[in-house]
Amino acid sequence: MTFNFMRLPASEAERLCYAEGFENAALLFARIEALQFALGQATAALVAIEENGMTARQASGAASEALAIVRRAT
């Protein structure tokens, strides 16, 4: 049976790769999952800044928090 890993969520592809003995591929999918999470968090912070009428201090805090998440993932 063949799998199209690109059609699976990164977490499922990671588990499947580990199960099949493809450790390096599993590590790549784990990294993809972390980057997807960071992108989602950064996007949510930017949307919140744009839509919620934050003060400059709140916007700065939200941006800093999102940046910290991205930095941890990269």
> Band of the pLDDT at 70, cuts 50, 70, 90?
confident
User: In this structure, what are the phi and psi dihedrals at residue 55, rounded to the nearest 5 degrees?
Assistant: -70, 165
Per-residue model confidence as pLDDT tens digits over 17-65: 999 999 999 999 999 999 999 999 889 888 888 888 888 898 889 889 8
The residues spanned by each domain of the chain are 9-73
Cα 72 from Cα 62, distance rounded (Å): 16
Q: Quote the pLDDT of residue 72.
A: 86
Which one, of 63, 49, 50, lies nearest residue 71 by Cα?
A: 63
C-beta of residue 7 within 8 angstroms of C-beta of residue 13 = no
Question: How far is 38 from 70, CA to CA, in rounded Å?
Answer: 5
72 vs 2, higher pLDDT: 72
